[in-house]
Amino acid sequence: MSRKKILHIGDPLLRAVSHPVKKFDLRLAMIVRDMGETMYGADGIGLAAPQIGLMRRLIVIDLYDEEGLRVFVNPDIIKAEGEVSLTEGCLSVPGRRGCVTRPELVTVRYQDIKGNVHELSAEGLLARALQHEIDHLNGVLYVDLMDYEVFEEEEEEEEEEALPQASEA
């Protein structure tokens, strides 16, 4: 197992479009393991493969709930509804947070680590994390979409509306 270096904003790989995963083999399982370890090591709730320089359509999310590590291979948003503004952070944009308006509910079609196809409808923090991570696969960072930068003092005042502190992805 190994923890990988997380690329930071300014690195051109974060702006590239990732390629579909085609092989559901042992190597994929090892990449997922490394991504999990890297995400946990950085106290994140999500990580996309391009954040560690791997240009593959692969994301991991862990909301520290009973579900544990969630793996989404070749994820696509096939339905989006509503609108909600929430504070986001990103492991590739250290020290900053911003308010981003996105759809409130999304349905995602994805493959699991064995290649089986699934669909998942999500709301709340999971819907937000999925959209944030899938953006990474297309070279998009939350700072491209944010309504305004959120500073720490402001966030304390708006604490009730803010996401949990460990929400970097």
Give me the active site residues, please.
133
Nearer of residues 58 and 169 to Co ion, judged by Cβ: 169
Q: Which residues bind Co ion (CB under 5 A)?
A: 90, 169
Kindly provide the residue ranges of all beta strands, DSSP E only, lying in 8-81, ordered along the sequence. Answer: 46-48, 58-61, 70-81
What's the first-to-final CA gap in the chain, in angstroms? 21
Of 111 and 167, CB closest to Co ion = 167
**Residue 42 and residue 89: Cα distance in Å, rounded?**
12
Output the residue with the shortest Cβ distance to Co ion. Answer: 90
Return the number of the residue (90 or 108) whose C-beta is nearest Co ion.
90
Alpha helices in the chain (DSSP H): 26-41, 124-137, 142-145, 152-157
**Whole-number minimum distance, CB 136 to Co ion, in Å?**
6
CB of 91 to Co ion, least distance (A): 6
Phi-psi bin for 64: left (phi > 0), alpha (psi -120 to 50), beta? left
Q: What is the smallest separation between the CB atom of 162 and Co ion, expressed in angstroms?
A: 17
Q: Which amino acid is at 90?
A: C
Minimal distance, residue 169 CB to Co ion, in Å: 5
Cα angle at 129 between 141 and 125, to 5 degrees? 135
Residue 28 or 169: the one with the smaller Cβ distance to Co ion is 169
